Amino acid sequence: MTLALGIETSCDETSVAIVETSANDERTRVHCNLVATQFDLHAKFGGVVPEIASRAHLQKLDLLVREALEETGVSPADLDVICVTRAPGLIGALLVGVTAARTLAWSWDKPLLGVNHIHAHATSAAIELDAAPWPAVALVVSGGHTSLYAVQDWDNISSLGATIDDAAGEAFDKVAAILALGYPGGPIVDRRAAGGNAAAVEFPRSMLRGDSLDFSFSGLKTAVLYEVHGRGRTSGGLDGITDERIADLCASFSQAVVDVLVAKTLMAVRKTGAKTIVVGGGVAANSALRRELAAACERDGVALHLTPMRYCTDNAAMIASHGLRLFERGHRSDLALGASANAAE
């Protein structure tokens, strides 16, 4: 049995998890996954304020570590490794987690392992599966990232493509802001789309021509602005816009995002020859994406593993789970581990 403590502080969720793997099977067992959201602190600003995020992580993190140990009855001596998100994310927020993990590893005399947050999203669908699903194409769709990866194994992940501007979740959040629906926008747009007609407005599907696996969503956001305020106008009131029209706009916008995500993910499957798709990140909670990917995979005979909803948004279980597999394969970080805002590190 190998036991990890995981710490995640890359953005606006402070999270601590205790996760176990066993030599007898390939399953990862999550003993606890505590998430303290900072939602209320940032909501009035309409987005995450980095300085406020760092301070809130500082206030919460040691309490969560203590709570996780008490709740599971695990003592520091039982742990085999401390795993922490080291990149990418808000640098101040990352540094809170990395500094805490370095301190715990030093004072408890345990190995330390820095984990790439996006790689952890890419493998989060494997948490609680009976067997690892690799090789697979991984689609990571979150507020900060939209990326495709070829995953050969936990420590063999290569990038196939990524967004060149906005992330998919960012586009959802911006469209919600345009329509004054609230923050974070993804879940609200998803809910409003359920009552709308996805064919009401023909929004652009960017970068579908050619064989690039990169994405672009900023043009789509501008198209929504023009649709709401009139051609060439990026501001104005929302007077006279009915609930029905909002539902149609949400459904048509969601469809445009989902069409691109599904088409490119299947293109990645054809390019790599993989027979499995895994999907992680906050936007993996989107109902249209889940539905349409399932239909496409059924049609093409591809296996699909969607990350369980509780591991879609930022959480430490995916950090500990990914870190444990790296640890088992011999990876270690030294106590001088640093943090980086950069996705490639």
Asked if 291 and 121 touch (Cβ cutoff 8 Å), the reply is no
Q: Among residues 315, 338, 281, which one has the least CA distance to residue 37?
A: 315
Q: Among residues 66, 68, 80, 83, which one has the least CA distance to residue 109?
A: 80
Nearest residue (CB) to ligand KG4, 64 versus 69: 64
Q: List, in sequence order, every beta strand (DSSP E) within the chain.
A: 2-8, 13-21, 28-37, 81-87, 112-116, 136-141, 146-153, 156-162, 276-280, 303-306
Q: Please state the closest distance from residue 263 (CB atom) to Zn ion, in A.
A: 23
Q: Which residues contact 303 (CB under 8 A, 6 or more apart)?
A: 133, 275, 276, 277, 297
Nearest residue (CB) to Zn ion, 190 versus 314: 314
Q: Please state the closest distance from residue 108 (CB atom) to Zn ion, in A.
A: 27
Asked if 340 and 318 touch (Cβ cutoff 8 Å), the reply is no
Site string for Zn ion, 91-130 (x = CB under 5 A): ----------------------------------------
Asked if 250 and 196 touch (Cβ cutoff 8 Å), the reply is yes
**Contact positions toward ligand KG4, by CB under 6 A?**
11, 142-144, 169-170, 172-173, 184-187, 190, 281-283, 285-286, 313-314
Nearest residue (CB) to ligand KG4, 74 versus 343: 343
Question: At 106, is the secondary structure helix, strand, or coil?
Answer: helix
Q: Please state the closest distance from residue 282 (CB atom) to ligand KG4, in A.
A: 2
Q: Please state the closest distance from residue 281 (CB atom) to ligand KG4, in A.
A: 4
Asked if 90 and 54 touch (Cβ cutoff 8 Å), the reply is yes
Nearest residue (CB) to ligand KG4, 195 versus 236: 195
Pairing of strands 303-306, 276-280: parallel
Q: Please state the closest distance from residue 135 (CB atom) to ligand KG4, in A.
A: 24
Nearest residue (CB) to ligand KG4, 3 versus 250: 250
Establish if 142 lies at the interface with Zn ion (CB under 5 A): yes
Site string for Zn ion, 295-324 (x = CB under 5 A): -------------------x----------
Q: Please state the closest distance from residue 313 (CB atom) to ligand KG4, in A.
A: 3
Cα angle value 185/141/92 (rounded, 5°)? 80
Q: Which residues bind Zn ion (CB under 5 A)?
A: 142, 314
